[in-house]
Chains A and B, each alone.
Chain A
């Protein structure tokens, strides 16, 4: 049984598109997708609830928020500040952003679980210093249709005729560029070694290790 081998994992070398600035430090995943929208057994349809409580008031009327603005409707690169995605490990957060249309996030820093969850979806989380990010956010604000080009391998972002250096975590970069960010099949292929490891560990009981396939 090796159904996982059939899954095509695309390489993510470049991401391009127009940007949307989401300002503020410590934006937690409870904000990105409030818990009440997590009462679902699939991720489908989460896109419309991304940042719901900051985008809509109690009558569900839109409030002032970049993601409600016509000019940012087609954006695919989110530009954020520090510790973005902190808090709950819910993958519902990057799933909601992805389903809203986001293919990459550029920011000052990301919470680790959030970055890991993004990677599992093939979404790069690219970092740069605070000043660079603020300039980028300002540029995006003024050029809502302007293209941002992220070169994951070269660790650069090109916008408005300028190319800046950014950072992509080593393992993330390799995983994206080589198309191995979906690790299921890769790890499954080591099943024999995994069993051996299980047998080695003092606390794993024999009966807990299934027979080899």
Chain B
């Protein structure tokens, strides 16, 4: 059969049956769990006297609540300790693999899966976390679920799901210096809107996507959900296979790699696949994008003026007005020069090794601005170790950054890393919602990691390309 997308094929391969509701029951190839959304699901299993059906296809880590400074047990905060203990008990009883801090493999769930080689093309992957879309970078069908659905997956190894439409987003051309995958996705969300993807899965394609490494592809798929699309994916190719081959899983099972490769190739979208919608974006035109508001769709090129609410579509005006009031920005100005108090380099969007490398390049030999608290929080213990070995930690620390242990940290402020009062933060994370970083008056400006580094040095949102010119001049 031809004319099918990766989405169609992976769906078909995993369909167990059609349920009376008209939904399909899909087999789930990998179920990732963490401490915040799973304990209630384990509780529900217990209430119904059910067991975990496929513990070997389930993998756990701890990320949201874990302190990134002092990780000695018991954790200083009782609630965090309770959640961690609960997870430990649940995974022990069910016999689920757990990348805990002692394993040296702990980290943000969406960094851990790909690193260990358990995120693979053509799998269905779910997690009680909306950024599960990240794993789509490998050509997996990956989406976030709620706790009752976690219960379903735990109890049955399957999920009831309705098929969505597929929108192909073709990004052609070449990204300029200082412009990254993050800017591509911020641009996509800005153009298509935060609800533009509702009912769709996004297939990212085109020369600019193909030339990205896996980390860049992950940054893009990660934020599909910010555009309303529950899943996003990139067709697997040589870049994907090279990554997989290096992982522990395939290093230990090289013959499995050869066995699976034909399957991975088979699920790629056909050349004549039909899409419900196609959008094209010219990568050459992009500049670093930063947000001026309180939704990830409220973005603007760094040299472009912040829009006036009355120039926006009518249904966006009210939100824009409130956002500008909260952020204290004026239409007509650019975001360049917006003062920040905190910078956060971290999260499942941008805390992998190349993200830290690019930021370190900007930082090297410079100093963090006096009024800025600058945090680097690696996405996983593996990233952390690799970065320390390469000397990136030293570069950051010498410049005045705090180097932390792996976790979600200030992406959502569930541990002690939070904004205070009305602090403004330049952040490499994915959400700028009011209150997201732990203070309801806090102000978040989303941007790529190099831009975060530039903001830390200058104490204000800065076009990183200007800093680069200074270096090369």
Known contacts A1-B50, A36-B414; A194/B156 CB under 8 A: yes
Residues in B with CB closer than 8 Å to A30 are 412, 431, 433-436
Q: Which of B80-88, B106-114, B355-363 contacts A (4 or more CB under 8 A)?
A: B80-88
A158 at the interface (CB under 8 A from B): no
At the interface, yes or no: A210 with Cβ under 8 Å from chain B? yes
List, in ascending order, chain B residues with CB within 8 A of A210's CB: 53-56
Q: Are A41 and B40 within 8 A (Cβ)?
A: yes
Q: Mark B302-322, 1 if CB is under 8 A from A, else 0.
A: 000000000000011011001
A178 and chain B: residue at smallest CB distance:
B20
Q: Does B151 contact A (CB under 8 A)?
A: yes
Interface: A111 (CB within 8 A): yes
Q: Does B152 contact A (CB under 8 A)?
A: yes
Query: Which of chain A's residues has its CB closest to B52's CB?
Result: A210
- In whole angstroms, how far apart are the Cα atoms of A91 and B147 in the complex? 6
The answer to whether the Cβ of B462 comes within 8 Å of any Cβ in the partner chain is no
Is A156's CB within 8 Å of the partner chain B?
no
Residue from the list B48, B56, B431 in contact with A87, Cβ < 8 A: B431
Q: Is the CB of A40 within 8 A of B51?
A: no
Known: A41-B40, A86-B194. A91 touches B53 (CB 8 A): no
| Residues 33 to 68 of chain A near chain B (Cβ within 8 Å) | 34-36, 38-43, 53
User: Contact check: which of A95, A171, A193 meets B23 at CB < 8 Å?
Assistant: A171
A28 with B433: CB separation less than 8 A: yes
Does A143 interact with chain B (Cβ within 8 Å)? no
* CB of B57 closer than 8 Å to a CB of A: yes
Chain B residues contacting A82 (CB-CB under 8 Å) are: 195, 315
B87 nearest in chain A by CB position: A41
- Contact present for B431 and A198 (CB under 8 Å): no
Task: Name A91's contact: one of B37, B54, B57, B434 (CB within 8 Å).
Answer: B37
Contact of B292 with A by CB under 8 A? no
Interface residues of A in 51-108 (CB under 8 A from B): 53, 82-83, 86-92, 94-95
Cβ–Cβ < 8 Å partners of B21 in chain A: 171, 174-175, 178, 180-181, 183
State how many angstroms separate the Cβ of A160 from the closest Cβ of chain B: 25
Q: B17-68: which residues lie under 8 A (CB-CB) from chain A?
A: 17, 19-23, 25, 27, 29, 36-37, 39-40, 43, 48-51, 53-57, 64-65
Interface range, A side: 35 or more
Give the docked Cα–Cα distance between A169 and B148 (Å).
19
Q: Which residue of A lies closest to B25 (CB)?
A: A187
Assembly CA distance A7 to B152 (angstroms): 14
Task: Give complex CA distance A110, B157 in Å.
Answer: 27
User: Is the pair A39, B435 in contact by a Cβ cutoff of 8 Å?
Assistant: no
Indicate which residue in B13, B156, B194 contacts A187 across the interface (CB closer than 8 Å): B156
Q: How far does the alpha carbon of A95 sit from the alpha carbon of B36 in the complex, in Å?
A: 14
State which residues 172-210 of A face B: CB under 8 Å: 174-175, 178, 180-184, 186-188, 190-191, 193-194, 197-198, 201-205, 207-210
Interface presence of A130 (CB below 8 A): yes
Evaluate contact between A188 and B155: CB separation under 8 angstroms: yes
Question: Which residues of the other chain, A, contact B79 by a CB distance below 8 angstroms?
Answer: 39-40
A16 within 8 A of B: no
Q: In this assembly, does B381 line the interface, its C-beta being within 8 Å of a C-beta of chain A?
A: no
Q: Are B158 and A194 in touch, CB under 8 angstroms?
A: yes
- Tell me, rounded to whole Å, the shortest Cβ–Cβ distance linking A153 to chain B: 14
Q: How far is the CA of A197 from the CA of B49 in the complex (A)?
A: 24
Give the docked Cα–Cα distance between A185 and B37 (Å): 21
Contact between B19 and A203, CB atoms less than 8 A apart:
no
- In the complex, what residues of B have CB within 8 A of residue A26's CB? 194-195, 295, 297, 319
B250-282 with Cβ < 8 A to chain A: 259-260, 263
Mark out the residues of chain A between 108 and 147 whose CB falls within 8 Å of any chain B CB in the assembled complex.
109, 111-113, 116-117, 120-121, 130
Contact of B17 among A87, A193, A207 (CB under 8 A): A193
Determine whether B173 belongs to the interface, using a CB cutoff of 8 Å to chain A: no
Q: Tell me if B352 counts as interface (CB < 8 A to partner A).
A: no
Tell me whether A170 is interfacial, beta carbon within 8 Å: yes
Q: A198 touching B157 by the CB < 8 A rule?
A: yes
Q: Give Cα A38–Cα B155 distance, bound, in whole angstroms.
A: 23
B181 CB, min distance to chain A CBs, angstroms: 21
CB-CB under 8 A from A182, the residues of chain B are 148
The minimal Cβ–Cβ distance linking A80 to chain B, given in whole angstroms, is 13
B123 interface residue (CB < 8 Å to A): yes
Encoded as 1 (CB less than 8 Å from any A CB) or 0, chain B from 96 to 112 comes to 00000000000000000
The answer to whether B319 and A89 touch across the interface, beta carbons within 8 angstroms, is no
**How far does the alpha carbon of A163 sit from the alpha carbon of B146 in the complex, in Å?**
33
CB distance from A206 to the nearest CB of B (A): 10
A residues within 8 A CB of B65?
39
Say whether A162 faces chain B, with CB atoms less than 8 Å apart.
no
User: Does B232 touch A at the CB level, under 8 Å?
Assistant: no
Which chain A residue lies CB-closest to B259? A202
A209–B55 alpha-carbon span in the complex (Å): 9
CB within 8 A of A191: which of B39, B156, B226? B156
Q: What are 9 A-B pairs at a CB distance below 8 A?
A: A53-B440, A82-B315, A87-B225, A89-B144, A111-B198, A117-B148, A120-B149, A171-B21, A187-B25
Listed in ascending order, the chain B residues whose CB lies under 8 Å from chain A are 13-17, 19-23, 25, 27, 29, 36-37, 39-40, 43, 48-51, 53-57, 64-65, 77, 79-80, 82-83, 86, 120, 122-123, 128-130, 132, 144-149, 151-152, 155-160, 162, 194-195, 198-199, 225-226, 228, 230, 259-260, 263, 295, 297, 315-316, 318-319, 322, 412-414, 431, 433-436, 438, 440
Given A35-B438, A41-B82, A198-B27, list of 16 further CB < 8 A pairs? A4-B50, A25-B315, A30-B433, A36-B413, A39-B79, A89-B37, A111-B195, A116-B145, A117-B149, A130-B315, A170-B22, A175-B23, A183-B160, A187-B160, A201-B14, A208-B57
